[in-house]
Amino acid sequence: MMPDGKKNVLLAVSGSIAAYKACDIARAFVKEGVSVTVTLTPNGAKFVTPVTFETLTNSKCLIDTFDRNFKFEVEHIAAAKAADVCLIAPASADIIGKIANGIADDMATTTIMAATCPKLIAPAMNTAMYDNPIVQENLAKLVRYGYKIITPDTGLLACGDVGRGKLAPVETIVEEANKVLSGTGRPKDLAGKKVLITAGPTQEAIDPVRYITNHSSGKMGYALAEAARDRGADVVLVSGQVALTPPPGMTVVKIVSAADMAEAVFAEFPDTDVLIMAAAVADYRPKTVADQKIKKSGGGMTIELERTTDILGTLADKKTHQFVCGFSMETENLIENSRKKLVKKKLDMIAANSIRDEGAGFAHDTNKVTVITQEDLCDLPLTSKAETAHLILDEIVRRL
Ligand code: CTP
């Protein structure tokens, strides 16, 4: 946190051609009103000059450990203390190796070593370098020490090769750092509480190669899990098959079908304090699952479906002390239909989503939710899923 109360990102830029993208990263935070301190490695400075970052961030770019032009403070320690999140982007094989092995021989690596805030690393390098087992071992070691790796993309690299190692998109990097920032400074008002969250779609098998599913990306459930963790809860995340990295600092139970999800939730429920069912659970599954791949025939085909267990419906009579929040996604009559679910499933709260609203619903990084209880109705603003998650938790905590 800066003396003026602004959140601060410490952006360490190392020697990779992707260093030019760090300018867009810095700019994105400045636009959000977040202060950015850039520290450049000497090799990073060969790709982008400190002046570029200073102009973009309106603050001094830290590059020389022995710079005498300072305000009587030890700069790398002051920068480390002010940081709410440390983002190493792009991270070359060299800086990854140095951090993993405790080497601090320039301004960037000393500042990173002194920083105690959460640290995110966005690697960028040639595929053969990225796949080198030593680099992979260094990354695995950093994960063990609590660093989060923002997985690089696969694509055309600056060297002309096609493969893994392309810096993750700027938006992804900014979003990951924002998740951390939205958690900093939050009250630990869920400390000592067990929060059970379901996320993502279920898959209902038709035969060994086909299944019925839906468009849920899992992003809202994962955002809730991360927000609850940041507020001190013991989080169990029961997740359908999604393309998201399991968040650190919680128990993640991966499931496939509605039946698997029901089993996992029923097992965890008795000592849970708060259950949030953000998952898009299939209401129907094929009545029979073929042992072998179904071969096509001349005419049409009919699949007979049967109901899955209504997880929330079943829990209604098993509730003791738990606060239960459901989710509802509708294309019409959002409030009326969501209220019906609240009553029918005996929920304490339902978070209602209209997929007709711009920027809300499946796969987006933003959401617009109306929180409904027996007594109240509260329209939350259109905002990031990370912020929406905290706003929903605010509503839950107020009622615990
Ligand atoms: N849900 C559940 N078990 C199911 C299906 C849904 O626990 N088999 C949960 C969802 O996770 C969500 C809530 O119930 O929190 C509402 O789900 P939804 O499918 O929208 O509601 P339904 O009551 O099934 O109504 P609809 O007829 O609109 O499908």
CB of 326 closer than 6 angstroms to any ligand 1 atom: yes
Q: Report pLDDT digits (tens) over 163-187.
A: 899 999 999 999 999 888 877 667 8
State which of 111-115, 296-300, 379-383 shows the largest mean pLDDT: 111-115
Residue nearest to atom 9 of ligand 1 (CA): 312
CB of 44 closer than 6 angstroms to any ligand 1 atom: no
CB of 281 closer than 6 angstroms to any ligand 1 atom: yes
- Examine the domain organization and report whether 121 and 200 are in the same domain: no
- Examine the domain organization and report whether 29 and 136 are in the same domain: yes
CB of 312 closer than 6 angstroms to any ligand 1 atom: yes
Cα(190) to centroid of ligand 1, in Å?
A: 26
* Residues with Cβ within 8 Å of residue 43, at least 6 apart in sequence: 14, 15, 92, 94
- Whether residue 3 lies inside any domain: the answer is no
* Domain boundary pick from 122, 152, 184: 184
- Examine the domain organization and report whether 170 and 230 are in the same domain: no
* Domain boundary pick from 184, 212, 231: 184
Strand order in the sheet with 8-13: 35-40, 8-13, 85-91, 119-123, 148-149
Domains identified in the chain, total number: 2
Task: Pull the structure tokens for residue 227.
Answer: 């927000």
- Examine the domain organization and report whether 219 and 97 are in the same domain: no
Q: Report pLDDT digits (tens) over 345-360.
A: 999 999 998 777 776 7
Q: Report pLDDT digits (tens) over 134-155.
A: 999 999 999 888 788 999 999 8
Q: Which domain holds residue 223?
A: 194-399
Decide the pairing of beta strands 369-372 and 377-379: antiparallel
- Whether residue 368 lies inside any domain: the answer is yes
- Examine the domain organization and report whether 237 and 346 are in the same domain: yes
- Whether residue 276 lies inside any domain: the answer is yes
Q: Taking residues 300-326, what's their average pLDDT?
A: 96
Cα(117) to centroid of ligand 1, in Å?
A: 39
* Domain boundary pick from 156, 184, 212: 184
Give the pLDDT of residue 68: 58
Q: Taking residues 57-69, what's their average pLDDT?
A: 81
- Examine the domain organization and report whether 243 and 175 are in the same domain: no
Give the pLDDT of residue 20: 97
State which of 84-88, 179-183, 366-370 shows the largest mean pLDDT: 84-88
- Examine the domain organization and report whether 156 and 225 are in the same domain: no
| Residue 72 confidence (pLDDT) above 50 | no
State yes or no: is 23 an active-site residue.
no
- Examine the domain organization and report whether 61 and 173 are in the same domain: yes
Tell me which of 61, 117, 159, 325 is the catalytic residue.
Answer: 159
CB of 216 closer than 6 angstroms to any ligand 1 atom: no
- Band (11; pLDDT cuts 50, 70, 90): very high
Residue nearest to atom 20 of ligand 1 (CA): 328
CB of 276 closer than 6 angstroms to any ligand 1 atom: no
Which CATH number belongs to the domain containing residue 62 in this structure?
3.40.50.1950
Which CATH number belongs to the domain containing residue 362 in this structure?
3.40.50.10300
**How much is the pTM?**
0.67
- Examine the domain organization and report whether 138 and 219 are in the same domain: no
Q: Give, for ligand 1, the residue of 213, 224, 276, 328 to mutate: max count of ligand atoms closer than 8 Å to Cβ.
A: 328
Quick one: which of 56, 221, 386, 135 has its CA closest to 152?
A: 135
- Examine the domain organization and report whether 163 and 222 are in the same domain: no
- Examine the domain organization and report whether 92 and 120 are in the same domain: yes
Cα(99) to centroid of ligand 1, in Å?
A: 46
- Whether residue 189 lies inside any domain: the answer is no
Measured distance CA(228)–CA(195) in Å, rounded: 7
- Examine the domain organization and report whether 13 and 103 are in the same domain: yes
Q: Give, for ligand 1, the residue of 263, 275, 281 to mutate: max count of ligand atoms closer than 8 Å to Cβ.
A: 281
CB of 277 closer than 6 angstroms to any ligand 1 atom: yes
Give the other-Cβ count within 10 Å of 341's Cβ: 18
Q: In whole numbers, what is the pLDDT of the chain averaged over residues? A: 92
- Whether residue 1 lies inside any domain: the answer is no
